[in-house]
Amino acid sequence: MNAAIIVCSTLTNHVKAAQKKMNTNYSIIELDNSKHSRPEKFWQLAFLAMEQLPEEIDTVLLGLGVCGGASVGWTFPRRTIMPKVDDCITLLMHTDEKFHYNLKEVGHFYLTENRDLMSIEQMEQDLVLKYGERRAKRVMKVWFDAYKSVDIVDTGVYDCYSKEYVERAKRESAIINVPYQYVPGSNIILEKLVSGKWDDQFLIIEKGGVMTEEDFGMTNKESLHTTYVV
């Protein structure tokens, strides 16, 4: 198998850790995680990256989730293997061999290694610049009123117990007045992805194939969407 990995930059270090553990050395192409807020644009970049791979690459390993379902209906230019998960958070929360499309809980804000992907602190700062401090606080209360916890996903790949990281978690949770806690995670999905252990946690799309919502056990495209912020 001549393969290459296309990965959301949120997961680059996790992919490198998986390759080191599983003794593989596939080339890695990163996708900018700042495009997450625009799933169609994000998937356009993913398909462009697939098309631009050298001809000898016959298999693409996708280190990312469905991310909004924008890839449904597209024709894949190469054989592609990807985790059957809604996003990168769920991917990192897997700790077993079972298929879980979405492991997140409503009302929980998740922190992982990538501190720039989603930050409560940054959201507040942006709102203060846009609306002023008083209105910004009102908006934040509306956004986060139903939240119960800030959850740190401990995958074992990065140091989420460092003083710097814990201080960040404390600041994030204090802004929305909720506790923070650790939740178990792992790198099992990416380890299986790079080592070819593709079971029912993975979707295998042959060259020229099309992804459908039924591939994920869903009945319509809307089911592929995550409806709460992580």
pLDDT digits (tens, 9 = 90+) for 188-206: 999 999 999 999 999 999 9
Angstrom distance (rounded) from CA 187 to CA 156: 8
Q: What is the pLDDT of residue 37?
A: 66
Facing residues of 154 across strands? 184
Q: What is the pLDDT of residue 223?
A: 52
The answer to whether the CB of 171 falls within 8 A of the CB of 140 is: no
Any idea where the domains of the chain sit in the sequence?
3-95+187-224, 108-184
Q: What is the pLDDT of residue 79?
A: 97
Q: What is the pLDDT of residue 67?
A: 80
Q: What is the pLDDT of residue 200?
A: 93
Q: Please give the chain's pLDDT, 230 residues, in tens.
A: 899 999 999 999 999 999 999 999 999 999 987 766 678 888 999 999 999 999 999 999 999 988 877 778 889 999 999 999 999 999 999 999 999 999 999 999 999 987 656 789 999 999 999 999 999 999 999 999 999 999 999 999 999 999 999 999 999 999 999 999 999 999 999 999 999 999 999 999 999 999 888 887 765 544 555 433 43
Q: What is the pLDDT of residue 113?
A: 86
Q: What is the pLDDT of residue 213?
A: 81
